[in-house]
Amino acid sequence: MDIRVLNYFVTIVQTKSISNAAKALHITQPTLSRQIRDLETELETQLFDRGSREIQITEDGRYLYNRAIEILSLVNKTENNIRRNDGISGELSIGAAESQSLDIMARAVKKLTTTYPEVKVHILSGNTDYVQEYLDQGNIDIGITFGAFDESKYNHLPLPNRDSWGILVPKNHPLATLQTPKLHDIIKYPLIVSAQPNITFEELDKVGDYRIVATYNLLYNAALLVKVGVGVALCLNGIVLTDEYSQLKFIKLQEGNHDPLQVLWKKQNNQSRVANKFLKILKEISDTNVQ
């Protein structure tokens, strides 16, 4: 597939007609129609239903459109990152799990963008599964995750983890009176747990029967379930507000947390100058923080 023709296709979808797209692209309508027909022949499918005044996209066309947006974004980002050779510039995409320990990342981003003002950083928040999927697809340059990872696929930089596992409960919940509850104290109540595939429940299995009533990817929506009494959320501290106005309380578990926190990037990829500079800055800050 030609990148130029992919751009033509995306423009048609966004302008909703070949004539509008031709004007936006500054090419003739017959030329544009021929390019799209050639693309359909190449892909052996029909991308548009052409029976009405406003062009309608087919199911295959919708799939191609979604992928084309990702491809064109990646091409644009790649061009921006290599176009200038006289300094550090371009874009950096970071996928990160929720954690108060990522203040180290925030300080690294500040130093990077202050030192190199032509750098733009994009932060995508998500759980470990989401971050690794986007890393594998090339949609992000760097991922920051908790827990186990495939060392054959990723280079990694360990980060200090200051997070603790605990429970999020309403302030009037019976567990809110305990200083440091144990797992056997919480299994009496419905549980709301992380949906990450690398999260296991071996410790819970050891203490007795329990009921998982809901799962979450990001904690904010889980906190809404906690507020209305759906269940008790197993989570990390410092992610949602638990001040006097929040109606919520975080309580650290005695069992604590030992999950590693690390920065990941694909082994086979040659990182951009921006990504390499960010990793260098992040390591310097991380080493200082450990000391």
* 155-180 average pLDDT score: 88
* 13-41 average pLDDT score: 89
Which stretch of 33-42, 159-168, 195-204, 269-278 has the lowest confidence by average pLDDT? 195-204
Residue 194 confidence class, pLDDT cut points 50, 70, 90: confident
CA 37 → CA 12, 16, 34, 44, 196, distances in Å?
Answer: 13, 17, 5, 10, 43
- Percent of the chain scoring above 90 in pLDDT: 37
CA angle 28, 29, 32 (to 5 degrees): 90
Q: Quick one: pLDDT at residue 109?
A: 95
Q: Quick one: pLDDT at residue 123?
A: 93
Q: What is the mean pLDDT of the chain?
A: 86
Q: Quick one: pLDDT at residue 26?
A: 86
Distance of CA 195 to the CA centre of its chain: 14
CA 103 → CA 108, 134, 194, distances in Å?
Answer: 9, 22, 22
Helix 18-25 to helix 29-43 angle, to the nearest 10 degrees? 110
Fold (CATH) for 3-81: Arc Repressor Mutant, subunit A (1.10.10)
Question: Bigger pLDDT: 129 or 114?
Answer: 114
Contact 283, 212 (CB under 8 A): no
Q: Quick one: pLDDT at residue 85?
A: 47
Strand runs labelled E in the chain: 48-49, 56-57, 90-96, 119-125, 142-146, 154-159, 165-170, 191-194, 212-216, 232-236, 248-252, 261-266
> In the chain, where are the structural domains located?
3-81, 85-161+260-290, 165-252
* 163-181 average pLDDT score: 88
Contact 144, 94 (CB under 8 A): yes
Torsion, Cα of 158, 160, 166, 169 (10° steps): -110
Whole-angstrom Cα distance, residue 233 to residue 261? 21
Q: Quick one: pLDDT at residue 88?
A: 80
CA 239 → CA 68, 99, 105, 243, distances in Å?
Answer: 35, 6, 15, 12
Per-residue tokens: 198? 């690398």
* 217-226 average pLDDT score: 89
Whole-angstrom Cα distance, residue 252 to residue 22? 61
User: Fold match between 3-81 and 85-161+260-290?
Assistant: no
Superfamily holding 165-252: Periplasmic binding protein-like II (3.40.190.10)
Beta bridge partners of 119: 90
Residue 290 confidence class, pLDDT cut points 50, 70, 90: low
pLDDT digits (tens, 9 = 90+) for 62-113: 999 999 988 888 888 777 666 554 568 889 999 998 888 889 999 999 999 9
Residue 257 confidence class, pLDDT cut points 50, 70, 90: low
Report the predicted TM-score, pTM, of the whole model to 2 decimal places. 0.61
Question: Bigger pLDDT: 203 or 93?
Answer: 93
Which stretch of 78-82, 133-137, 191-195, 247-251 has the lowest confidence by average pLDDT? 78-82
The CATH class of 85-161+260-290 is alpha beta
Residue 207 confidence class, pLDDT cut points 50, 70, 90: confident
